[in-house]
Chains A and B, each alone.
Chain A
Amino acid sequence: MHFLQKLTLAAALALAASVTLAAQPAGSDASLPIYMNTAYSFEERAVDLVSRLTLEEKQSLLGNNMAAVPRLGVRNYNVWSEALHGVLSGANPSVGILGPTSFPNSVAIGSTWDPSIAERMASAIADEARAIFQTGTKGLTFWSPVVEPIRDPRWGRTGESYGEDPFLAAEIARGFVRGMMGADAKYLKAVPTAKHYFANNSEFDRHVSSSNMDSRDMREFYLYPYKRLIEDENLPSIMSSYNAVNHIPTTAGNFYIDTLARRTYGMKGYVTGDCSAVQDLWDGHYYVETREQAAAAGLRAGVDSDCGNIYQHFAISAYEQGILPMADIDRALVHMFTVRMRTGEFDPEQMVPYTKFEPARVSSAANRALAAEIAVRTPVLLKNDGKVLPLDPKTLRTIALIGPQADDVELGPYSGRPEASAMISPYAGISKYLKDKGYDVDVKLAVGANIKSKSNLLYVAWFEIEKTDGSVTHYDATKYTSSSEGITVGSGMGTEDQVRTIDDGSWTAYDNIDITNIENITVGLNIPTEGGIVEVRVGGPDGNLIGRIEATRASGARVGGVYGSSMPMKTNALKLGYNGPQNVYLVYKAPTDAPIDEETINTARNADVAVVFVGTDENTATEEADRLTLLLPGNQVELIKAVAAVNPRTIVVMQTLGCVEVEEFRNLIPGIIWTGYNGQAQGEAIPRILFGEVSPGGKLNATWFKSVKDLPAITDYNLRRSSGNVGRTLWYFNREVSYPFGYGLSYTTFQYSNFRISQSAITPNDKITLCVDVTNTGDYSADEVVQLYVRTPDSPASLERPAKRLKGFKRVTIPRGQTRTVRIDVNCADLWFWDDKAERMTFDPGRYVFEFGSSSQDIRGSVSATMSGSLKRTLKTVWAEADASVLRIGQAAKATFTACMNDDSFYDGAKAVWTSNNPGVLTVSADGSMKAVSMGVATVTCSVTIDGKTVEDSFPMKVMPNLGLASLKVDGKPVKLGDAAQYSFVRKAGKAPKVEAVAADPAIAVNVKQAGSVPGTAVVTLRDVQTGEDRTLTVNFGTKGVSDSFQKPALGPQWSWVREDPSRWSLTEKPGAIQLTTGPGDIAQAGNDASNILLQSANTDWTVETKMVCANAPAAPAQNAGLVAYACDDNFVKFVYAATFNYRRPADAGPAAGQLQLMVEENGQQKSLTSLSLEGVAGVNDALWLRLVKQGDSYTAYYSVDGRKFEKVGQATAVLKDVKVGMMACEGAMPMMGRNAPRGGFQLPAAAPLKVAFEDFKIVSGGVK
């Protein structure tokens, strides 16, 4: 702040613009700072901007609320926005923005099997996003789409996923990503982020769990969509997930983010952590011990932005602790600003094609029409017995619309708030449709049932027993003695552990609860969705009832939601005369549903047709809450059965997040239509389907299992069949299902014929075309989705290949009576499997059977080809980077690269050709060594050629002014400059010499604080006024040291004590030595309480040596004694003989051999520690000679066992002012472990104090000549 006050902002901006470049791009405007100059690449501009930031500015930009930096013209920016099926926002009348269009949700988009629909939808969403962005209320980075394949239908976020098969999920996602990014060659319309990378496929434990799998499942299933999006669409962003994979949190997974996403697949862009995922490294997975370590782990792994506050609060302290290099911070910010620049944020409006999006784009008529168009293409016809559908309105007098979704618009998860006028329920839509078409049909409405979830009822944290005497005993509900199956404990996004995954009938039991004279029972609980009943029973889940709490939304209890914490609910206890400790049970029940009312039954009975609208909503399952059951929630199944019993023409329309169990009712009704959450126009679409204006053309995007009992544990991420696992998805599940993957009927019929393949002998290097003729043999023009599955029957059974995989599909519109030839191209290279031993792709030789199907089980015909040969390995991805993004003039750095082949294996031994586009700024030599020459930016390119194919990669570098000195004078005499940060001079005590300093670069400000006297230290500070970065040099003036052989009965005047304890030192106990006895304390870390530190002034260079004899070896846990170069308790260099104690692993716990330690502490933080074990070298009563040599800021430690031959222990660097040197002996401090430990050590009692005799103290002083 002091130096900034000396410069005006205008001067700073002038400096920002006046960058002297060795070469500038043609046509560039030199008056603009580089980061605003469009003649430079986005990457060069980003690194220039990052180089200008202060440390606190950098920290403030590492979170998703990126701060404004007015002095650089950087506006604030919220990285988080969502656009899964519409911008997650509402109307903003103050800026003329209507509620954004809400399109069908992902599960519905997946059922269209049409990537072009996803692309058109995403393009419309991006248009609305741009219009909203213009108002300054939201950013352009959107954390959509969800690309995890649906591994398990219970997953709470199934509604956000495109499908079960990774190929389907990838193809639909590709359309979405293309639509979001737009077609401009330079600028991005919006920035999609694929998530959640990866294997976040269960919600209830995702903050603490590990998704464990082998590398085959990892590569073939979980990573496949990301690979396709990055390689084929240049996906600019991914989000790291909460969970660990194989016990390494993805957010700290260098292999997952750096090796796979970047170096293997080639992702250029930014990585965000899921919200609080970085924090989960610390208090979820306990992967690190401090929040600083969490910041360091995330940034080192390559997570550039933290949706949380760990980076924004602890990155600086991590850097100051030396565990987070500035290069990692800079790299993250370069990624963030590059992507912001790619949106055109820093460019003149006229250059960016997306800046003219007026507010009227939002919820425009065109987008509403698109939402309606897509809503018609999503429905899947599951059953149509007797051609009950389509309905003919001419034959209807009355139509009954029944069910909780009949007059409701359920949008599903991650939905914005569209205009009310755009939200059309089925009742409204059907009524309008019939009226507009002129049909005189009486439309009757009856709700008849509820959609209240009967699972995931409650989260329970604690309970209290209050007695008649007013005493209250509090119990932690998560510490149950036993429970019913499926109960878990977790805190989700909160900090409070709760009993979770509570289903109807679940219970938790607590032994030895004293309920004598019980008066009241209070339970601390949260209602995540609908709630339930808590029964307090004694002796068993069916034991005597002593209390009941109705914790339901319907009863008016406060709903906390999935993120909520507990609130108390109390009930009077039934006094049944129990005395003493009892086994108390909390039994959880779903509210009982009322019977289906007669009015609803009569409405159904009296109608010509009854259409029952049922489904799920966000209370059924959502983020943080998996489904525990696959049944329709509430009493909807009872409603269907009741209606079917009175009306044979009952049609069920289900709108759900995915698979539901249908076996209980599907044989009772002739017609079933399913959609995923179908957007704001769902009511407009359904009549067009019901009445045959459009034939349903959707197909299921996932397998519909008969029962949840068919599924393995949701925590089991293995796909293949093994003991206890029936196998997952269409790839491996081998039991009967209700509806297979890809299933969907039509109002018409299709005949497949003339199956052909372009070649019957294939290699992995071929691209083939498969064709089939599809004839519409029915009465309606309709869409058909031709699906192409691949089997490899010749693969060895031991490899357990999938039963079949989807490898192509096409949705075609075929008018009635006509034939279309459907062509599907297949790249044989995409037929790979993963060889987990060779760690690369592999291709099984033999037959590949390509099946054309109307579903995965309705195969209409097939063709075969024989695969032979191997994939021609070609270079695919080169990844180049340096160990720094910003250098100062004169500094060097090293560039490295990796080369990945098209089989996803790495090539060892590739040669790179390195070039710099601006060698006047930065040079790079053949081995990647870089040297910063002058101020400016440069792009370093790495070019690799393997077998004739060349692939390049590049990265930007910025060179900043030198923070060095041009000259340094002491009393007018020039000092020869070196690399050291400290210069020492021997002078007589008294007035201090005058120090003068001149910076090497005029952009650097210099301040000299003179020494007060000799001994004393002058401090020279060089400061980059743009970034605030400074460098400190010290000039020490000291007097000659005085050696001491401790022969006299008193200490010489050169000595002084820090915290003298006369009872613990003696010159007489061992004549010819000063003997120190260890006392409690240390100066390491925050202890700062060691006594008897004996020091003399030594503010010069010197060599100090002492002979030390210990009465015993230093004892556990941390006794130590030796030499110390001391500025203060928080700034010193210690060279000691110390005990060591293994505390990390219980098996190793206990004392270990003594060791020599060279430790540096700067500003209270341990900066470095070098240790050398003395096992077998020194023992009881053996003398040790310790020598410590100071030269400038360098301290080198040596030891000897005979006083003649010295061995080097290590070297450390420290800049100490007003240095003293001497000896100390103390009990020492052991570092506290654990995330809640304060900084600093704690004391454990040692066996006995250690007596240490220092027989000699020799000092030879020196300094700059």
Chain B
Amino acid sequence: MLCRPAFWLILLLACNLFAAHGQENLPVTTPKGELKAVCESADGIQWAVTDAGEILRSADGVAWTVLDFNGQYAGYYPKMDFRAVAAGGGGVMVAGLDPDGHLAVFTSSRGTVWSARSLEYSQDGERGVLDVTPVSLSYDPLRDSFFLCGSGGTLFEMPGCSHCNRLTRYPADTLYVRIQAGFNAQLLGSGGFVIVEKP
């Protein structure tokens, strides 16, 4: 999802101030990085990510907890510049770039423990590992899959089975977003690219 960082940062700061005054025992911290993406799951949990490798979570949009992913996983996962987040199907997924500019994707169920998602795929008998710049993530409840949109006209479907990933490339330099519309999905990309995918 495309973001408006300044707006969200101000909102977050305002929420933190309110929370600090009004409630006790809440680990409220101001994120260090710039907000890059925000989403809300069907059960009302909101998530956001920053380019400093932070993952933010809120149950009410007022009080936010900030997970320093790069700090917590230093030496275990690469240091991340997160670009996208989506939630659904009992899980949440974040995507970003490591210091070498390679794509990495992580998943969690409740937001405190994160697993690396395999990006291997098979296409026309050839196996590969996805490595694009992510622009957005979304969750499709009908297909119970996460979708990553990114550079190279990439649409990458990640279902529950981690090596059943499916790559489709569209004729756009960058695919921006996949928007669910009932059973159909609308894909928007650079250069005015628009296509409706039917199930």
Contacts and interface: CB of A to CB of B under 8 A. Distances in A.
Contacts of A276: 159-161, 164
A65 B199 contact: no
B60 interface: no
Interface string B95-121: 000000000000111101111111000
A567 B199 CA distance: 7
A524 B123 contact: no
Interface in B149-164: 159-164
Contacts of A316: 109-110
B27 interface: yes
Contact of A60 (B113, B124, B126): B113
B91 A312 contact: yes
Nearest to A622: B125
A564 interface: yes
Interface string A306-321: 0111101110110000
Contacts of A495: 142-144
A66 interface: yes
Given A67-B113, A88-B127, A565-B199, A80 B89 contact: no
Interface residues of A, number: 55
B77 A68 contact: yes
B115 A80 contact: no
Interface residues of B, number: 44
A639 B84 CA distance: 54
Q: Say what secondary structure dominates the interface of chain A.
A: loop
Contacts of A78: 116, 118, 162
Contacts of A312: 91, 107, 109, 115
Contacts of B74: 70
A28 B86 CA distance: 47
Nearest to A69: B113
A746 interface: no
A1174 B199 CA distance: 52
Contacts of A5: 27
B158 to A, nearest CB: 10
A56 B113 contact: yes
Contacts of B110: 56, 316
A309 B164 contact: no
A493 interface: yes
A1 B27 contact: yes
A689 to B, nearest CB: 26
Contact of B166 (A54, A462, A564): A564
A307 to B, nearest CB: 6
A83 interface: no
Nearest to B162: A65
Given A559-B124, A561-B123, A64 B72 contact: no
A308 to B, nearest CB: 4
A63 interface: yes
Of B74, B112, B117, B168, most buried by chain A (CB within 10 Å of CB) is B112
B25 interface: yes
Given A56-B112, A312-B91, A566 B127 contact: no
B55 to A, nearest CB: 14
B90 interface: yes
A558 B197 CA distance: 13
A912 to B, nearest CB: 39
A90 B166 CA distance: 18
A307 B164 CA distance: 10
A75 B73 CA distance: 10
Contact of B199 (A70, A80, A461): A461
A559 B167 CA distance: 11
A933 interface: no
Contacts of B122: 561
A1257 to B, nearest CB: 39
Nearest to A74: B76
Contacts of A63: 115, 162
Interface string A252-281: 000000000000000000000001100100
A931 interface: no
A312 to B, nearest CB: 6
Contacts of B163: 80, 275, 307
A310 B91 CA distance: 10
Contact of A76 (B65, B77, B159): B77
Contacts of B108: 60
A1040 interface: no
Contacts of A417: 126-127
B21 interface: no
Interface in A1-23: 1-2, 5
Contacts of B116: 65, 67-68, 76, 78
B198 A568 contact: yes
A494 B144 CA distance: 10
A567 B90 contact: no
Given A65-B115, A76-B115, A1 B65 contact: yes
Nearest to A291: B90
Interface in A410-455: 416-417
A57 B118 CA distance: 19
B162 A307 contact: yes
A618 interface: yes
A681 B71 CA distance: 48
A493 B117 CA distance: 19
A563 B164 contact: yes
A496 interface: yes
Contacts of A291: 90
A561 B121 CA distance: 12
A309 B89 contact: yes
Interface in A600-620: 618
A1085 interface: no
Interface string A76-91: 1010100000001110
A561 B27 CA distance: 48
B192 interface: no
Contact of A313 (B25, B90, B117, B128): B90
Contact of A59 (B27, B109, B124): B109
Given A56-B113, A524-B198, A90 B160 contact: no
B22 interface: no
A66 B114 CA distance: 9
A64 B162 contact: yes
A56 B109 CA distance: 8
Nearest to B140: A495
B166 A563 contact: yes
B191 interface: no
Given A70-B74, A316-B110, A566-B199, A493 B164 contact: yes
A63 B27 CA distance: 29
Given A65-B162, A275-B161, A568-B198, A60 B127 contact: no
B164 A275 contact: yes
Nearest to B110: A56
Interface in A307-338: 307-310, 312-314, 316-317
A2 B143 contact: no
Given A461-B199, A495-B142, A563-B166, A308 B118 contact: no
A56 B92 CA distance: 14
Contacts of A89: 127
A414 B127 CA distance: 10
Nearest to A308: B160
Given A70-B75, A276-B160, A2 B113 contact: no
A291 B108 CA distance: 17
Nearest to B112: A56
A567 B197 contact: yes
Given A90-B128, A308-B162, A317-B90, 16 more contacts: A1-B112, A2-B27, A60-B114, A65-B116, A65-B118, A67-B115, A70-B72, A70-B76, A309-B160, A312-B107, A312-B109, A493-B159, A493-B161, A496-B199, A524-B199, A561-B122
What are the 4 A-B residue pairs with the smallest beta carbon separation, nearest first?
Answer: A313-B90, A275-B161, A68-B76, A309-B160
18 contacts: A57-B113, A68-B73, A70-B72, A70-B73, A78-B162, A80-B118, A80-B162, A90-B128, A276-B164, A312-B91, A313-B89, A493-B159, A493-B161, A495-B143, A559-B124, A563-B164, A565-B199, A567-B198
